[in-house]
Amino acid sequence: MFEFAGGEPAFFALATAHHRRCLEDPVLSHPFTHLGNPDHVARLAGYWAEVFGGPPRYSSSFGGHSAMLGIHAGEGADEDLGARFVACFVHAAEDAGLPDDPDFRAGLRAYMEWAVGEVLSYSPPESLVTAGLPIPRWGWDGLEEDAP
């Protein structure tokens, strides 16, 4: 899916468009204006690129899946944030000019719905993230169980 999307430039465009849409959302704008890292968009692009089959740059540079979950753990986010995040992602794929292939778009949406569910599962204040979790790999048929 990484190559089909257009590689790293496509995922950077997706992350940029998604970030902009989140800033425009009345609920998501608060957490997106209080990001701890000025390189958030580039890191997000790298994470998504790796998930969809791109190079493991996020894992090798930023701590992989456990680090990403750790950023979001214990934040007490409600379900509405998840639905809004998915909607921004779906619209951002269009904004970024990603391929308008129905199977591809369905795969993007299915991943984000799955990912939001996982992130929200770590939302309660007492949540702890296991160290060393590999970044999930998402392909044309969904989550790839044998991913690294």
The domains found in the chain, sorted by start residue, are 2-143 (1.10.490.10)
Identify the residue with better confidence: 89 or 125.
89
- pLDDT, residue 51, reads 97
Does the pLDDT at position 36 exceed 70? no
Core vs surface per residue 6-31: b (16+ CB within 10 A) or e? beeebbbbbbbbbbebbeeeeebeee
Q: What pLDDT, on the 0 to 100 scale, is given for residue 38?
A: 64
Q: pLDDT at residue 146 above 80?
A: no
d(CA 31, CA 28): 6
With bands split at pLDDT 50, 70 and 90, how would you rate the model's confidence at 116? Answer: very high
Greatest CA separation for the chain: 41
Higher pLDDT, 70 or 139: 139
Q: For the whole prediction, is pTM greater than 0.85?
A: yes
Give dist(CA 15, CA 80) in Å, integer. Answer: 20
For 125-132, what is the mean pLDDT? 91
Question: What pLDDT, on a 0 to 100 scale, did the predictor assign at position 77?
Answer: 73
List Cβ neighbours of 19 (8 Å cut-off, separation of 6 or more).
Answer: 32, 40, 41, 44
Burial class (CB in 10 A: 0-12, 13-18, 19+), 101: exposed
Instruction: Answer whether 77's CB lies under 8 Å from 123's CB.
Output: yes
